[in-house]
Amino acid sequence: MKYLYVGATPEADPEALTAVRARVGSEFGAPVREVQLPGVEFAYDAGRNQYGSIPVLEMLSRRCPADALKLVAVTERDLFIPVLTFVFGHAQLGGRVAVISLARLRQEFYGLAPDREVFLERASKEALHETGHTFGLVHCPAERCAMSLATGIRHIDLKIAAFCPSCAARLKRGSRES
Amino acid sequence: MKTHWQILVVDDEEVMCESLAAWLREDGYAVDTAASGREAVEKARQKDYAIYFVDLKMPGGMDGIETMMQIRRVHPEASIIIITAYATVDTAITAMKEGAQEYIVKPCNPEEISLLVNRIIKVKNLQRENTILRKKLSRQYHFQDVISKNARMREILDLATEVASLRSTVLIQGESGTGKELVARAIHNSGDRASKPFVAVSCAALAETLLESELFGHEKGAFTGAAQQKAGKFEMADGGTIFLDEIGDISPKLQVDLLRVLQDRSFYRVGGSEEVRVDVRVVAATHVNLQQAVAESKFRDDLFYRLNVIEIRIPPLRERREDIPLLARHFIERLSHELGKDIGEISEGGIKILMDYNWPGNVRELENAVERAMVTCRGHELTEDDFSFLAQNQTASKAWVVPAGMTLQEMEKLLIASTVERVGGNIKEAAALLGIDRSTLYEKIKRYEIAR
């Protein structure tokens, strides 16, 4: 039996972890388990005051449980890849591990009043998106699909926490073949 | 599909290279990477990429600008984006001067890079679509698509191919429906003017004054309704070819004007005093015997000789019957796609009916007959039953007794008048039934003063 693992870093918001677990479990139709992970301080880049998502993915690959179908980690840290100013998350396309950052998903980050519901919804969408990449899905042209590209927070808000019929079918085909 | 488009990321820093490549792959692109300028140029020689992301500072004696210049030598139209962590105004100016499409500073905003890639790909998609459509259009009218195994037709096509790149005027003579315009377009598309306009004008469809303005354009206020200056077909065809269909029907005044254009490649717009010069190749066509028209003083001999530099006479279908099965099968194949019908063949009985028929409307009539048969056909093969309407036409014409003393012109007038009346004045339908093109029908209606 293979499990979808949600990896909790020590600082990750517990409510966000619960929301991600529930959404990922129902959308991918696989049993979900949670695994405790160390913090990602080792990936800190002082020059940018951010955390590199590539070393985080490398760490996740090393710590991925043997019975894991996929492992999606949740961190509070603001992530980046060298060429971009930030990323909401990062995944191995067609691989086993992914990470999402909660840092830019809160209203407070944009100088707005806190809204837990919006924050938890965004976390679920990001988790679906990055996990979708690990299943080989690429960005979807349908704006409302969880797999559509989000380069800003408003793009995430335009999406729904579900896959469009075409991505859902691709996902189904992919899991049948694997 | 984005995966059609390939992107090359060039950066000596592996992590930089791989992270951008991975990000673009998540967006659905096929991405290759190169760790040096030399490797990038080598990869560009093997295939053309839609976009090249090239880092400005690279060691090994070949920086981003040099890499870009070498890639552009292989692919002059390449879209190259220079990326750098050390932005200065000077390097940005140099990059753009040397042909970089964009210059971005890393780390860059995901939105910026996404918009940039989308914009370039959108242009690439349009360019590709344009190329496909151009190919489709020119293929439609190339000599290899003129279907014939008739020796005379092969000679005609050889001659047309030889003269395609010359500027000499061509006169195509042949009955209605023999494919004069098809040959004219094939000449245009096979010559040096292929990328320039091909402008077709039916001289029979318009009254003299209208045709004059249509061909040469007019100045503002040249006549009532001329609210602004308008370019004529000769100006529109500048650099390309003008196809003057039914040239035998133009008035004596227009014959003089045309003669001047053919001699000097210049003319005046209607109501204008400024000479307009054009570089246009003229291909003219007619279904009437122009030599005879010259002999009868209906057509200027000097214009005839100017037009008749290269003469092409297309034989009627009844004189190349061996082409009938070939053409019929070609039309079946093409129309089965267009009509969405699963019809792939024609029976021997069907071919026999087609071979026995006289085809006064030539290839166009054959095409119409095949289409009509396919519309009503219920099987996967056209049979003699599907062409029964042709047999009826033949029998009806045989059974009809020509009144004594009736001239050929009177008979033609009668036939046209009765056909136009039967289809309720629908010229397209009447022309199809008569097996002639619409411009010829308009001309005959005008000549015989038939009420519509």
Query: Which residues of chain A from 105 to 124 reach within 8 Å of chain B, CB to CB?
Result: none
- The tens digit of pLDDT for each residue in B51-60 reads 999 999 888 7
Q: Do A85 and B28 touch (CB under 8 A)?
A: no
Amino acid at A65: P
Whether residue B154 is found in the same domain as residue B32 = no
From chain B, the residues in CB contact with A85 under 8 A are 107-110
Whether residue B238 is found in the same domain as residue B290 = yes
Average pLDDT over residues B184-194: 87
- The span from the CA of A134 to the CA of A69, in Å, is 10
What pLDDT is attached to residue A1? 83
Q: Do A84 and B23 touch (CB under 8 A)?
A: yes
Q: Which two tokens stand for residue B95?
A: 């990059």
B392 at the A interface (CB within 8 A)?
Answer: no
Q: Do A149 and B27 touch (CB under 8 A)?
A: yes
- The span from the CA of B363 to the CA of B384, in Å, is 19
Distances (CA, A) of B326 to B150, B269, B364, B385: 11, 46, 14, 20
Mean pLDDT is lowest, of B215-219, B369-373, B446-450, for B446-450
What pLDDT is attached to residue B154? 87
A61 at the B interface (CB within 8 A)?
Answer: no
| CATH (domain of B438) | 1.10.10.60
CB nearest to A80's CB, from B26, B28, B107 = B107
Establish if B218 belongs to a structural domain. Answer: yes
Is the pLDDT assigned to residue B15 strictly greater than 60?
A: yes
Quick one: pLDDT band at residue B195, thresholds 50, 70, 90?
confident
Of A103-107, B179-183, B268-272, which one has max mean pLDDT? A103-107
What is the DSSP pairing of strand A97-101 with strand A89-91? antiparallel
- How many Å lie between the alpha carbon of B318 and the closest alpha carbon of chain A? 56
What pLDDT is attached to residue B275? 85
SS3 for chain B, per residue? CHHHCEEEEECCCHHHHHHHHHHHHHCCCEEEEECCHHHHHHHHHHCCCCEEEEECCCCCCCCHHHHHHHHHHHCCCCEEEEEECCCCHHHHHHHHHCCCCEEEECCECHHHHHHHHHHHHHHHHHHHHHHHHHHHHHHHCCHHHCCCCCHHHHHHHHHHHHHCCCCCCEEEECCCCCCHHHHHHHHHHHCCCCCCCEEEEECCCCCHHHHHHHHHEECCCCCCCCCCCEECHHHHCCCCEEEEECHHHCCHHHHHHHHHHHHHCEEECECCCCEEECCCEEEEEECCCHHHHHHCCCCCHHHHHHHCCEEEECCCHHHCCCHHHHHHHHHHHHHHHHHCCCCCEECHHHHHHHHHCCCCCHHHHHHHHHHHHHHHCCCCEECHHHHHHHHHHHHHHHHCCCCCCCCHHHHHHHHHHHHHHHCCCCHHHHHHHHCCCHHHHHHHHHHHCCCC
| CATH (domain of B38) | 3.40.50.2300
Quick one: pLDDT band at residue B136, thresholds 50, 70, 90?
low
Domain finish residue from B133, B154, B187: B133
* Cis amide linkage into residue B107, ω under 30° from 0: yes
B28 at the A interface (CB within 8 A)?
Answer: yes
Is the pLDDT assigned to residue B143 strictly greater than 70?
A: no
DSSP state of A78: P
Q: Do B15 and A54 touch (CB under 8 A)?
A: yes
DSSP state of A9: P
What pLDDT is attached to residue B392? 66
A49 at the B interface (CB within 8 A)?
Answer: no
| Predicted complex ipTM | 0.86
- The tens digit of pLDDT for each residue in B395-432 reads 555 545 566 667 888 888 888 988 887 777 788 888 98
Of A125-139, B141-155, B201-215, which one has max mean pLDDT? A125-139
Structural contact between residues A129 and A151, judged by C-beta atoms closer than 8 angstroms: no
CATH superfamily of A3-136: Collagenase (Catalytic Domain) (3.40.390.10)
What pLDDT is attached to residue A99? 97
Is the pLDDT assigned to residue A77 strictly greater than 90?
A: yes
What long-range pairs does B371-376 form, CB within 8 A, spacing at least 24? B371/B331, B371/B335, B371/B339, B374/B332, B374/B335, B374/B336, B374/B339, B374/B341, B374/B343, B375/B339
> For residue A128, what is the enclosing H or E element?
helix A116-134
Is the pLDDT assigned to residue B209 strictly greater than 60?
A: yes
Is the pLDDT assigned to residue B393 strictly greater than 70?
A: no
CB nearest to B26's CB, from A54, A133, A152 = A133
Minimal CA–CA distance to B360: which of B304, B437, B270?
B437
Is the pLDDT assigned to residue B228 strictly greater than 70?
A: yes
Whether residue B11 is found in the same domain as residue B103 = yes
Domain finish residue from B253, B283, B315: B315
Whether residue B43 is found in the same domain as residue B167 = no
From chain A, the residues in CB contact with B113 under 8 A are 83-84
Establish if B138 belongs to a structural domain. Answer: no
State how many domains chain B has.
Answer: 4
CA angle A136, A142, A147 (to 5 degrees): 30
Of the two residues B140 and B451, the one the predictor is more confident about is B451
- The span from the CA of A170 to the CA of A173, in Å, is 5
Whether residue B14 is found in the same domain as residue B36 = yes
Establish if B251 belongs to a structural domain. Answer: yes
Q: Do A138 and B113 touch (CB under 8 A)?
A: no
**Chain CA centroid to CA B311, Å:** 22
- How many Å lie between the alpha carbon of B101 and the closest alpha carbon of chain A? 18
CB nearest to A83's CB, from B2, B20, B26 = B20
Quick one: pLDDT band at residue B1, thresholds 50, 70, 90?
very low
Mutate to test the interface with B, among A78, A83, A148 (most CBs of B within 10 A): A83
- The tens digit of pLDDT for each residue in B164-173 reads 888 899 999 9
Domain finish residue from B358, B374, B400: B400
A 10 A CB-CB count for A149 gives 20
| CATH (domain of B360) | 1.10.8.60
Whether residue B182 is found in the same domain as residue B290 = yes
Contacts of A42 (CB under 8 A, 6+ apart): A55, A59
Quick one: pLDDT band at residue B191, thresholds 50, 70, 90?
confident
Contacts of B100 (CB under 8 A, 6+ apart): B68, B80, B81, B82
Bridge partners (DSSP) listed for residue B378:
none
From chain A, the residues in CB contact with B109 under 8 A are 84-85, 151
- The tens digit of pLDDT for each residue in B321-352 reads 888 998 998 888 878 877 878 787 899 889 99
Phi and psi at B241, nearest 5°, equal -130, 140
Domain that holds residue B416: 402-452
B54 at the A interface (CB within 8 A)?
Answer: no
- The span from the CA of B372 to the CA of B386, in Å, is 8
- The tens digit of pLDDT for each residue in A138-157 reads 999 889 999 999 999 999 99
Establish if B278 belongs to a structural domain. Answer: yes
What pLDDT is attached to residue B137? 64
- The tens digit of pLDDT for each residue in A41-66 reads 999 999 999 999 999 999 999 999 99
A154 at the B interface (CB within 8 A)?
Answer: no
What pLDDT is attached to residue B396? 53
Whether residue B192 is found in the same domain as residue B309 = yes
Q: Do A83 and B2 touch (CB under 8 A)?
A: no
Whether residue B208 is found in the same domain as residue B289 = yes
What is the DSSP pairing of strand B79-84 with strand B51-55? parallel
- The span from the CA of B28 to the CA of A145, in Å, is 15
Of the two residues B134 and B378, the one the predictor is more confident about is B378
CB nearest to B107's CB, from A84, A138, A139 = A84
B22 at the A interface (CB within 8 A)?
Answer: yes
What pLDDT is attached to residue B67? 93
Average pLDDT over residues B256-280: 88
Whether residue B32 is found in the same domain as residue B102 = yes
Average pLDDT of chain B is 85
What pLDDT is attached to residue B399? 47
CA angle B395, B398, B401 (to 5 degrees): 135
Is the pLDDT assigned to residue B140 strictly greater than 60?
A: no
B83 at the A interface (CB within 8 A)?
Answer: yes
What is the DSSP pairing of strand A50-52 with strand A97-101? unpaired
A47 at the B interface (CB within 8 A)?
Answer: no
Distances (CA, A) of B109 to A108, B6, B30, B113, B298: 20, 22, 21, 7, 75
- The span from the CA of A17 to the CA of B398, in Å, is 91
Chain B's closest residue to A83, CA to CA, is B107
Q: Where are the domains of chain A?
A: 3-136
A130 is known as an active-site residue: yes
Quick one: pLDDT band at residue B204, thresholds 50, 70, 90?
confident
| CATH (domain of B266) | 3.40.50.300
Quick one: pLDDT band at residue B288, thresholds 50, 70, 90?
confident
What pLDDT is attached to residue A13? 96
- Tell me the three state secondary structure of residue A125: helix
pLDDT > 70 fraction of chain A, expressed in percent and rounded: 97
Q: Do A81 and B109 touch (CB under 8 A)?
A: no
pLDDT > 70 fraction of chain B, expressed in percent and rounded: 93
Average pLDDT over residues B361-375: 92
Is the pLDDT assigned to residue B132 strictly greater than 60?
A: yes
